[in-house]
Amino acid sequence: MSVRINTNSCVGCKKCIEVCPGNLIKLKDGKAFIKREKDCWGCTSCLKECQAGAIAFFLGADIGGKGSTLSTRAQGDLRYWIVTDPNGIQKTITINTKESNKY
């Protein structure tokens, strides 16, 4: 379980560095990188902060990961969660943040 930061999309705004509850993301050459990827809790706070959409989340093979990634973006009251499989096929789940969990 960890995150991957796309250096090409990263704009170096440091928001992910600021928010990570484990202080795991640092800055190198003006871009964010995850210094200790094994120490990620998987909270996805950095994904939610990143306006550039540069951060994606994945499961390690030891917990069933098969190479897909999870990314997210928000628009108004809606939050989109996008799962992209290794072939690039996407599935999006849309959550209205003003609605409660049903369970």
Partner 1 sequence: MLKNLSVEQLKTDVLIIGGGTAGCYCAYTLGLSGSHKVLIAEKANIKRSGCLAAGVNAINAYITEGKVPQDYVNYCKKDAKGIVREDLLLSISENLNDVTHTLEKEGLVILKDENGKYVTRGDRNIKINGENIKPILAKMASESDNVTVINHVNITDLLVEKNRIYGAVGFDVNEAKAYVIFAKAVLMATGGAAGLYRPNNPGFSRHKMWYPPFNTGAGYAMGINAGAEMTTFEMRFIALRCKDTIAPTGTIAQGVRAKQMNGLGEIYETKYGVATCERVYGTTLENKEGRGPCYLKTDVISKAQEEDLYKAYLNMAPSQTLKWLEGGQGPSEQNVEIEGTEPYIVGGHTASGYWVDNNRATTVRGLYAAGDVAGGAPQKYVTGALAEGKLAAAGIEEYLKEDFELVSSNVWEKILANYDEYLNNPIGNITISQVEEAMQKVMDEYAGGITKSYQFNETGLKLAKEKLEGLQQVLNTLKANDTDELLQIYEIKERLTVSLSLIEHLKARKETRWHSFGENMSYPNVDDNYNVYINSVKTGDGIKIIKRPLVVDDYKNIIFTFNGDGNIQYAGGEIDER
Kindly list the residues in this chain that would bind partner 1 in the complex (CB under 8 A). Answer: 1-2, 18-23, 26, 35, 38-45, 57-66, 68, 70, 79, 81, 83, 85, 91, 93, 95, 97-103
The one-letter amino acid code at 19 reads V
The one-letter amino acid code at 67 reads G
Closest CB 3 distance from partner 1, rounded Å: 11
Closest CB 45 distance from partner 1, rounded Å: 4
Closest CB 12 distance from partner 1, rounded Å: 16
16 CB-near residues (< 8 Å, 6+ apart) = 5, 25, 32, 45, 46, 49, 50, 55
Diameter of the chain measured on Cα atoms = 45
For residues 8 and 37, which CB has a smaller minimum distance to partner 1 in the complex? 37
For residues 8 and 62, which CB has a smaller minimum distance to partner 1 in the complex? 62
Closest CB 8 distance from partner 1, rounded Å: 23
The whole-angstrom separation of Cα 73 and Cα 93 is 11
For residues 8 and 98, which CB has a smaller minimum distance to partner 1 in the complex? 98
The whole-angstrom separation of Cα 40 and Cα 93 is 23
